[in-house]
Amino acid sequence: MLTHAVFFLIGLTLLVMGAEALVRGASRLALSMGISPLVVGLTIVAFGTSTPELAVSVGASLDGRPDLAVGNVIGSNIANVLLILGIAALIAPLVVHEQIIRQEIPIMLGASVLVVVMALDGRITRVESALLFALVIGYTFYLIRQSRRASRETEAEYNAEMPPDSEWDRHWSVQAALIVIGLVALVLGSHWLVGAAVVFAQAFGVSELVIGLTVVAVGTSMPEIATSIVAALRGERDIAVGNVIGSNVFNIFSVLGLTGLVSAGGIPIPEAARNFDLWVMLAVAFACLPIMLTGREIARWEGAVFVCYYAAYTAYLVLAAQHHASLPMFSNIMLGYVMPLTVVTLIISIMRHNGRNSASG
């Protein structure tokens, strides 16, 4: 068990380092080729931090572990919003870029609804997987076209948000080498992490789906965690939100799409995920809806609510896996008191915000 724990940590480290190398090399190469900083920020950086999810899910699917592949995507999307945005908002209230409110959040909502509908029959087929992958290609091309129409002010804003330039990685050969090193590290890291996670699941009597929803999901979300927290600390708060929203879109379209394409019969969706976890992912996506209605900020109290909900979701998974006697009481408290109280609080917040806008107008 100790050996597998070491391989798990090594695999996780390789995933984080590989994602960092891939993002740095790809973003520098794109900028040196004259690709818009807007596109780099919303695609390469956001998508690059999701490459661990891609490596793990594809690797798990090829190894005949579809539950782990599905759990990784669902769990990562839940953790991205509740845990990562929650922690970032606790550090500092998150100011959300207008384009994220107007465009990226609705796209994430649509992607979440689409994948839930596809999964209802118990399988995401190869045809449906091809559609998901085609959507991420279309989404990327749309951003490229959109960036060409962007104003100079928008370009300057995103240029300022990109990491500061450096001397050692200016040459294209270094940038290409970083991309190759990142990809190799991601492949090795995902292989070791998936192998160790399966051993843990068998040793503790926990399903691979639960391991994917929790340990593997948080592990593969480490790049997003690091990026969003550093962005919040540096005051670049819209990057924290854009990184999370972009990564969730990538997880659904590209990770699930490519995973289904490499699987012989598509992706089988476990019954437990269809009955509960997919709906939690959808609810979490819609939890971003008040951001569109109340304005361009995620307050600290909202961040605290997000983190508490993630802790409650994880506790539910652990109790359910152990068939604990307190599970019914825990579920009743969450459904009967906590969630309705949160909904009422959000409604009051929206009403107060609209009232302030009316008064100021």
**In this structure, are residues 251 and 115 in contact, taking their beta carbons and an 8 Å threshold?**
no
In this predicted structure, the answer to whether residue 154 has a pLDDT above a threshold of 60 is no
Residue with tokens 């994880």: 314
Q: How far apart are the first and last CA of the chain?
A: 64
What is the Cα–Cα distance from 344 to 346, expressed in whole angstroms?
A: 5
State both tokens at 343: 């909904």
- The pLDDT value recorded for residue 5 is 85
What is the Cα–Cα distance from 6 to 193, expressed in whole angstroms?
A: 10
Q: Is the alpha carbon torsion for 199, 203, 205, 210 positive or negative?
A: negative
> Which range in 6-15, 49-58, 129-138, 258-267 is most confidently predicted, on average pLDDT?
129-138
Q: Would you list the domain boundaries of the chain?
A: 2-164+171-298
Helix (H) or strand (E) run with residue 95 in it:
strand 94-95
The string of pLDDT tens digits covering residues 48-58 is 777 778 888 88
The string of pLDDT tens digits covering residues 75-113 is 999 998 889 888 988 988 877 767 777 788 889 999 999
- The pLDDT value recorded for residue 253 is 93
Strand partners, 264: 266
In this predicted structure, the answer to whether residue 356 has a pLDDT above a threshold of 70 is no
Confidence of residue 134 (pLDDT cuts 50, 70, 90): very high
State both tokens at 237: 């708060």
List Cα–Cα distances, 12 to 55, 65, 115, 120, 210, in angstroms: 12, 18, 27, 32, 18
**In this structure, are residues 162 and 40 in contact, taking their beta carbons and an 8 Å threshold?**
yes
**Of 252, 271, 283, nearest in space to 111 by CA:** 252
Half-sphere exposure of 323 (CA within 13 A, CB side): 2
The string of pLDDT tens digits covering residues 270-324 is 988 898 889 989 988 888 776 656 556 777 888 888 898 898 888 888 888 777 7
Domain 2-164+171-298 of CATH type 2.30.42.10: no
**In this structure, are residues 183 and 58 in contact, taking their beta carbons and an 8 Å threshold?**
no
- The pLDDT value recorded for residue 31 is 67
What is the Cα–Cα distance from 66 to 240, expressed in whole angstroms?
A: 30
